[in-house]
Amino acid sequence: MTQKKDIPPDTGTAENTENTGTGNTRTYHEQKYIDNTLRLRSILKTLPPFARDYFRAVEPTTSARTRISYAYDIRVFFHFLMENNPVYKDYTIDRFTLQDLERLEPVDIEEYQEYLKVYDNEDNKQITNTEKGLARKMSALRSFYGYFYKRQAITKNPTLLVDMPKLHEKAIIRLDTDEVAKLLDYVDHGGDNLTGQRKAYYEKTKNRDLAILTLLLGTGIRVSECVGLDIQDVDFNNNGIKVTRKGGNEMVVYFGEEVENALKTYLYTTRKNTVPLPGHENALFLSTQRRRMGVQAVENMVKKYAREVTPNKKITPHKLRSTYGTALYRETGDIYLVADVLGHKDVNTTKKHYAAIDENRRRKAAGAVKLRES
């Protein structure tokens, strides 16, 4: 395998986890909660006043990230009305009332759904939505309408009379067993022929990058769970890591010898020799700027290595999670174990992705039918 000599630095660093003014250091998840709360408050100021009732009501059953996404999506809806509906051409967003929601007909919702396929946002940047993005924005609007309809604040809900976008199944992209080995080998030896500053950078990040990739491939944890890890979350006595799942639940995920070795190598070399910036002392994985690594930094790092090994596959941290889930199901045949380890709340989600017909069986079909006698 030909190895490129230029391994660029990681871009994007981290979320700030420093608790200024108290002398204490917040955990990653505590700081994310504060950041998301303030971010949502900021977005709500750009929505009609009555929208706050909806977001207050859904808080107990949704994550902060979901509420932020819904807020952005609903804002798009009101901007669509102001830009495309003659009734609202002179409106500002704070003028909208519940009566305006009630006034709309199913055809207005259908026009909005068509608009979502391609539109210009507030910064005049063209936005396109895939089936999944379209379905999410329509789901947000339906939930928004449903809240006020259920509480009899409005007497009709036109979103219920519009079909939701159809989602087509897509092939799950994952690494094959040999590709996993090639990826880790490339991280291990990708800098062997480098010189100068590139060599120094490679040596500085090699153990960290190998630890992250081995951890993702060996446990199936989410990239957000990975960057949220603190040093004290790693327990080598039981070979487990404490992760905070979606919704805030904590869980211990166990790892094998390969993950153990990679983590120890990183901790006892690169991490031990790095002095973190204030507020980042507990972070397990540090950027070259000595801050906790962020999600984007890990995503960039994974893509950087993966495109050298599997250029025809668009590999992301989530694809590494799929790779682990597939391998675990193949080895155990226990879909409930896979669901538990991956932190899926609904086992049907796991079945959909990992219990489909095995690809090796599907390949056998290629030679099973003879078209002409030889």
What are the domain boundaries of the chain?
A: 31-161, 177-361
Residue 221 contacts residue 284 (beta carbons within 8 Å): no
Contacts of 62 (CB under 8 A, 6+ apart): 70
Residue 353 tokens read as: 């992705």
Range 31-161 classified under CATH 3.20.20.105: no
The size of the chain, in residues, is: 374
Instruction: Express each pLDDT in 177-221 by its tens digit.
Output: 999 999 999 999 987 888 888 888 988 999 999 999 999 999 999
Determine the average pLDDT of the residues in 127-135: 90
Instruction: Report residue 170's pLDDT band, with 50, 70 and 90 as the boundaries.
Output: confident
- Report the mean per-residue pLDDT for the chain: 88
Cα–Cα distance for residue pair 221/342, rounded to 1 Å: 7
Cα–Cα distance for residue pair 297/140, rounded to 1 Å: 29
Q: Closest by alpha carbon to 315, among 329, 296, 299?
A: 299
The percent of residues in the chain predicted with pLDDT above 90, rounded, is 66
Residue 236 contacts residue 264 (beta carbons within 8 Å): yes
Give the DSSP H or E segment for 152.
none
Instruction: Express each pLDDT in 280-292 by its tens digit.
Output: 999 999 999 999 9
Instruction: Report residue 8's pLDDT band, with 50, 70 and 90 as the boundaries.
Output: very low
Cα–Cα distance for residue pair 109/173, rounded to 1 Å: 34
Q: Do domains 31-161 and 177-361 have the same CATH topology?
A: no
Cα–Cα distance for residue pair 366/178, rounded to 1 Å: 22
**φ/ψ bin of 12: left (φ > 0), alpha (ψ from -120 to 50), beta (otherwise):** left
pTM, to two decimals: 0.80
Residue 19 contacts residue 26 (beta carbons within 8 Å): yes
Domain 177-361, CATH class in plain words: mainly alpha
Determine the average pLDDT of the residues in 348-369: 65
Residue 90 contacts residue 67 (beta carbons within 8 Å): no
Taking 50 as the threshold, does the pLDDT of residue 351 lie above it? yes
